[in-house]
A and B are shown apart, each in its own frame.
Chain A
């Protein structure tokens, strides 16, 4: 079945990972980073990025032991039938809930920033329909969409950082590390959450063309968000100071609003438009993960009917929270669950090695 597909190139894998990570969280990342780390927010972001790359390496090594399988199959092999099923169930529920959370966060932000009198439901339903269409095309469609959207969405984030660079007051960094390393390390944990999205690596190996280069392309896809996030937080703290940054709901939008160019009256609108593309791609990735997990769990092959089942569920979860604080609670649950999922790759890898599942010999045999 999988072999029928032509396979994804290394660049496509990188683009997919990058755009799954960069999405909703880019608009509030500086707030998370400066809340606890204060002036060392950029350092904390960077360290969290390194940590995430480390986790991604673990995931890739784990996947490489089972080149023809996704997490849903090989976790059952490692953990045993029952435990594996439970684990996959959690994974699938997590992916569905994250789709819903991103959808809600996105619709809320859009209502506040761009479309104040458009009903929330319409924004969400329109987005869901478009995602549905994209995921329906399969992984190759998703990846090709990522490939096309990579440049515009990265460019607009890069420009936001660049245009604010002259306003950075370097003296603000004089007191770096004045509070010791402990608050930095503590906030690394919080910031790691914003890098979530590389769970997609669990799924793509069977579809890649060049399986040897999987490590390089996966890490390449991780490096881009690390650089973008770090420079974003650096500029934010340099321009506004950490206190003001941690008070803003959408600090990155604020940064975009500070830009005034003659021929673009409002740069923030431009930013939001291209940011929608980034949100779209992360949504498609998560919906794909959710639908393929449920499909494989139920032992079926065709995942397309499952998307149609999942979309209304996502919508219901997304519409449930009543106010911003409830959305934040949902977000917190999602983030910790996501962290637990990526961290679970470590015990999985250890177990796989101990139980001698997977590996080179195994790969050749199959």
Chain B
């Protein structure tokens, strides 16, 4: 019995040798090349080829006694698809490229107009990339954005990722980002979406506006004001600033900081026609009123201002809606999906003629602007 026990203990120890010696998946951090940004462009020559730019972090630059001067470097590969580009990297580096920490994916204009549909499969399929990676569309070449030289050797991929994460909470002209997960959902459900637009304007970065995608292809651009209307329709309004021109007797112009807003869009079917009903409620504080000193009753003034704002917001929404409807024939505010869910019967009957239904849709706006405070000084 004692012998048996001894033998079994010996076996256990032997087993331990096999079980706990090494890990197959261990990779030293120095051997990994962390890809932190991806830029997809159409290759200059060749029809179907794409140019993929990888932004790779240089871990040494982050160490306290960093010897490397550049915190990152970019490398471009021309290949038939993303997987090949990824593999080609291994031909050129002594490290293993890892997409685990990829922060942003930028798609170039030509790429998304022509090839967007077929080349994203790798991103949906791979387990390496996180689902929450930010995606943006670039007017021009996407790799130029990754090459921007920020001051203080900031890394473009991180800067843009943070901008996409945060800035839409402060400005109404910036859309919130789409991640790979939601793009996959948009693809399977076949609905349109907007990606934040990035453009280089004389070596400055600009992120207002967006690119409209239909069937996974870029079909047009929106500027910041258009986007504002769409954000109201879409319901992802957060905070931001709204400006309005005042009529002569009230002053010149006024600026409001929106701190809370609620929007609810619903499709309504009346006599076989689609009506888009929007309830919007905006609350804000005045931050700037430019006008001559003049005694006006406070209540009256604020009422007037609210009315002006309501009209202004209505016009903006109307304009963006018409633009989407007439020019692009696309609805990035999930109208189609909502219709499907609100009126499944109507949808089944009119599925084929959706384009016509959408084109003849009208807007029914109910906008309420509430100005709560006027700041440190009285009007």
Contact = CB atoms under 8 A, between A and B. Distances in A.
A175 interface: yes
A241 B185 contact: yes
B184 interface: yes
A266 B130 contact: yes
A306 B337 CA distance: 56
B132 A260 contact: yes
B65 interface: no
Given A115-B24, A171-B342, A173-B341, A254 B189 contact: no
A122 to B, nearest CB: 7
A240 interface: yes
Contacts of A179: 344
Interface in B188-218: 188-189
B173 to A, nearest CB: 24
A215 B103 CA distance: 52
A322 interface: no
A174 interface: yes
Interface in B266-306: none
Interface string A110-143: 0011111111001000100100000000000000
A213 interface: no
Contacts of B130: 257, 266
A247 B24 contact: no
Interface in B338-364: 338, 340-342, 344-345
A117 B338 CA distance: 44
A174 B189 contact: no
Contact of A258 (B132, B338, B344): B132
Contact of B25 (A118, A126, A254, A257): A118
B241 to A, nearest CB: 26
A240 B341 contact: no
A244 B188 contact: yes
B132 A175 contact: no
Interface string B18-31: 01000111000000
Contacts of B345: 178
A247 B186 CA distance: 12
Contact of B189 (A129, A243, A258): A243
- Which bucket holds chain A's interface residue count? 20 to 34
Contacts of B338: 171, 174
A112 B127 contact: yes
- Which bucket holds chain B's interface residue count? 20 to 34
Contact of A122 (B24, B127, B185, B189): B24
Contact of A115 (B25, B132, B185, B337): B25
B86 interface: no
Given A243-B188, A257-B131, A117 B341 contact: no
B341 A257 contact: no
B189 A117 contact: no
A200 to B, nearest CB: 29
Interface in A140-184: 171-175, 178-179
Interface in B159-191: 181, 184-185, 188-189
B235 to A, nearest CB: 10
A118 B25 CA distance: 6
Contacts of B181: 240, 254, 257-258
A174 B131 contact: no
Most buried by B among A126, A258, A266: A258
A174 B127 contact: no
Classify the secondary structure of B's interface with A.
Answer: helix
Contacts of A117: 24-25
Interface in B110-145: 127, 130-132
Nearest to A176: B341
Given A244-B185, A257-B181, A116 B131 contact: no
A39 B342 CA distance: 13
B201 to A, nearest CB: 31
Contacts of A129: 15
B342 A116 contact: no
Given A122-B24, A241-B189, A266-B130, A174 B342 contact: yes
Interface in A93-116: 112-116
A116 B342 CA distance: 44
Contacts of A240: 181, 185
B36 to A, nearest CB: 14
B155 to A, nearest CB: 18
A134 B263 CA distance: 56
Contacts of A174: 338, 341-342
Contact of A113 (B15, B127, B131, B341): B127
B188 A118 contact: no
Contacts of B131: 254, 257-258
A104 to B, nearest CB: 19
A244 B184 contact: yes
B17 to A, nearest CB: 14
Contacts of B342: 171, 174-175
Contacts of A244: 184-185, 188-189
Contacts of A243: 185, 188-189
A196 to B, nearest CB: 27
A242 to B, nearest CB: 9
Interface in B308-348: 337-338, 340-342, 344-345
A247 B190 CA distance: 13
Contacts of B337: 171-172, 241
Interface string A69-97: 00000000000000000000000000000
B377 to A, nearest CB: 39
Contact of A118 (B24, B127, B185, B344): B24
A172 B23 CA distance: 45
Given A247-B188, A258-B181, A175 B24 contact: no
Interface string B232-264: 000000000000000000000000000000000
A175 B340 contact: yes
A240 B131 CA distance: 12
Contacts of B344: 175, 178-179
Nearest to B128: A116
Contacts of B341: 39, 171-175
A235 to B, nearest CB: 14
7 contacts: A126-B19, A171-B338, A173-B341, A175-B341, A178-B344, A240-B181, A254-B131
Given A175-B341, A243-B188, 12 more contacts: A115-B24, A126-B19, A171-B338, A171-B342, A174-B342, A243-B189, A244-B184, A244-B185, A247-B188, A257-B130, A258-B181, A266-B130
10 closest A-B pairs by beta carbon, nearest first, are A178-B344, A118-B24, A174-B341, A244-B185, A175-B341, A175-B344, A257-B131, A244-B188, A243-B188, A117-B24
